[in-house]
Amino acid sequence: MIYNVIIYLMQLGVAIASFFNEKVRKMWRGEREAFSILKEKVDPNAKYAWFHAASLGEFEQGRPIMEQLRQEHPEYKILLTFFSPSGYEVRKNYAGADIICYLPIDTITNARRFLRLVRPCMAFFIKYEFWYNYLHILKHRNVPTYSVSSIFRQGQIFFRPYGRQYGRVLKCFTKFFVQNEVSKQLLSTIGITNVEVTGDTRFDRVLQIKEAAKQLPIVEAFVKNKNVPDTNYPVFVAGSSWPPDEEIFIPYMAAHPEWKMIIAPHVIGEDHLKQIISLLETSYNKVNRQLKVVRYTKTTPEEAADAQVLIIDCFGLLSSIYHYGDIAYVGGGFGVGIHNVLEAGVWDMPVLFGPNNEKFQEAQGLKASGGGFDFSTPEEFHQLMDRLVADAGYCKACGSKAGAFVKDRSGATGKILSSVSL
């Protein structure tokens, strides 16, 4: 079958690329070590629920299910696998799973060996994971297998005439828990009816994150208005920003001295941080404003209190930092696609993002709710911001709509587990 030829070529390509790329090298090494990890850690007498996530985003979607399953059914152990280093390297010490490793590439030999070692009682594949050999062997072994928070579009290979053979992989799933009605209808056109529209578990996850938000003394000192007791400055939070984003919002915010700004860039490297600081200095000089910018890891609450800009130069804080904002900007919309808008919207504030958001259902939903806004040019961004900045009541109302959008779409985790054979 052509799929297996492609997989073997992919395996060869990964092996060659591992000599030149650190990220690929980690993946190649991790896949080869996976069987040693399983041999060492798998308890042959335990019942395993296997969760597979390609990367960090899919992990966050699967996490609420893992944690609720663990809480309500402690008789199951959790095996968590990743395809990408960006997921594994960040969550390899996640306490909610009993075993964590890479998923060996989907050859027939690897799939048979993996499943012979683990013998899972059930399997959950998050969102876009459709590994042909693993899924067919799971079906052959009568292992209940679920596709979670999946979403389908007309242009995908499964719905094209040339993709019908590969599309048979979808018949290996016991059930699909899809995000929307369109996905259910598309699957029905190729004869798949074991489908339930449950929504996206990310809504549950961001509500969990909100409840567990960290108190950050440096950020609290930064937003505090020392001149007006018991009040904070209005704060603009830019999360996961890239240079094209920064070139739009930094000049605008420099012209608004009544606001403070927090920037949490997607890439935290010295070159990018220097680029941000240079742009800040240029923008503030143009409007004749003094600038004090501090970096989170190199400042104190006392120093931060007098700054106009706080740069977050570490990972793991953004979801808690949104708590301190009044308007959020989520980056990536001028590149491959926007990042997580729900992490911002859950805090009841309007969310702005760039034009590449058509494939992101949550962004489309935020826009329709009146809590999210996209733009394509600096001029459009200025118009949106001018209204939000000038009218506090309007800004607050938009934020309330964003928060309500997130809350109203929670509950997918409970719906999924109530339909799973445990």
What are the tokens at 200?
């996206």
Quickly state the pLDDT bin for 224 (edges 50, 70, 90).
very high
Q: What is the pLDDT of residue 48?
A: 98
- What's the DSSP call for residue 292? -
Mean pLDDT of the chain: 93
The mean pLDDT value for 291-316 works out to 96
Spatial CA neighbour of 11 closest among 104, 78, 77: 104
What are the tokens at 129?
């994971």
Q: What are the angstrom distances between the C-alpha of 105 and each of 19, 29, 35, 150, 283?
A: 18, 12, 12, 21, 48
First and final C-alpha spacing in the chain: 35
Spatial CA neighbour of 324 closest among 203, 259, 390, 237: 237
Q: What is the pLDDT of residue 1?
A: 66
Q: What is the pLDDT of residue 316?
A: 86
Q: What are the angstrom distances between the C-alpha of 299 and each of 29, 90, 226, 340, 378?
A: 38, 25, 18, 27, 31
C-alpha to C-alpha distance for 401 and 398, rounded to whole angstroms = 5
Q: What is the pLDDT of residue 18?
A: 73
For 328-360, write each residue's pLDDT tens digit. Answer: 999 999 998 999 999 999 999 999 999 999 989
Spatial CA neighbour of 53 closest among 99, 98, 87: 87
What order of strands is seen across the sheet that includes strand 99-102?
99-102, 76-82, 47-53, 122-126, 145-150, 175-178, 195-197
SS3 158: helix
C-alpha to C-alpha distance for 123 and 190, rounded to whole angstroms = 23
Q: Is the pLDDT score of 422 beyond 90?
A: no
Amino acid at 301: P
Cβ atoms within 10 Å, residue 44: 6
For 350-401, write each residue's pLDDT tens digit. Answer: 999 999 999 899 999 999 999 999 999 999 999 999 999 999 999 999 999 9
C-alpha to C-alpha distance for 111 and 43, rounded to whole angstroms = 19
Portion of the chain with pLDDT greater than 90, in percent: 82
Q: 1 exposed, middle or buried (CB, 10 Å; 0-12, 13-18, 19+)?
A: exposed
